Copies of this chain bind each other. A is one copy, B any other.
Amino acid sequence: MCQLLGMNCNVPTDICFSFTGFQARGGATDVHSDGWGIAFFEGRGTRVFLDPQPSCSSPVAELVRRYPIHSTNVVAHIRKATQGAVGLENTHPFMRELWGRYWIFAHNGNLADFAPACDGSFVPVGRTDSERAFCWILQELRRRFGSTAPATDVLFAAVHELTLAVAGHGEFNFLLSNGDWLFAHASTKLAYIVRQAPFARAHLNDQDVSVDFSEVTRPDDRVAVIATLPLTDNETWTTMVPGTLWWFAEGEPVRTFATLPGPERKAGA
């Protein structure tokens, strides 16, 4: 399996601290050594850094850890290959354009027998179940809404319906963002934290590194960090109930929908 890291903020923020812990899981403190990637939204623009090498020894990861890129939405992924060989074309996150915005997607899990009909509007380049699911979701959104983006609440409801269809095929933890919002699906394992005033000191799980956020923030800053497993050992992370889809905007959760029936959802929590 893989690990996910996301960030959604109300002001452009760098992810260097969180990425330092996350990077170590790609072959150093954990086994996810089949490549990694990270996407930053800066306004409407997006840049994606990908490397099929383990993140713990990747020169590109070193750059990302040291070069503070300020972004309001970030999606990162370290890979333990399940479907699709180790290679750049199978490295998450994936990017497509829809409605004049870049969309970024990363997945942790495994989908069995997921081979939906493809109308050619969004076609996978690699061989992962993950890119196939991403392309299908975008295809269905365009089919449903045509050439104009709907309001975000309508979009979130549509992504919820599509997530239900895909999640029937297996484990489908994902992060999805178009730069305005970040949607996160906890199929089996995902946690988040919202950092806001009063800010405090945080210490990484994976490395002996701390940061005092009160020294590097302004009082109105708000940052949501989402990760497969908590990145720090002295803060309270919220474990997202398995079978829940989350809409984050401006650094906090806006809405949640269940993606499993009630009893199952409780059983999985």
Task: Point out residues on A near B: beta carbons under 8 Å.
Answer: 42-52, 59-60, 63, 66-67, 87-91, 95-102, 119-126, 142, 146-147
- Closest residue of chain B to A66 (Cβ to Cβ) is B59
Residues of chain B within 8 A (CB-CB) of A120 are 99, 142, 146-147
Residues of chain B within 8 A (CB-CB) of A123 are 97-100, 147
Residues of chain B within 8 A (CB-CB) of A142 are 120
The smallest C-beta distance from A45 to any residue of chain B, in angstroms, reads 3
Measured CA separation A47–B96 after assembly (Å)? 13
23 contacts between A and B (CB under 8 A): A42-B87, A42-B88, A44-B89, A44-B126, A45-B50, A45-B52, A45-B87, A45-B88, A45-B90, A45-B91, A46-B88, A47-B48, A47-B50, A49-B49, A59-B63, A59-B66, A63-B63, A95-B95, A97-B122, A97-B123, A100-B124, A101-B125, A102-B125
Known A45-B126, A46-B89, A47-B49; further 7 A-B contacts with Cβ < 8 A: A46-B88, A47-B51, A48-B48, A60-B67, A97-B122, A98-B123, A100-B123
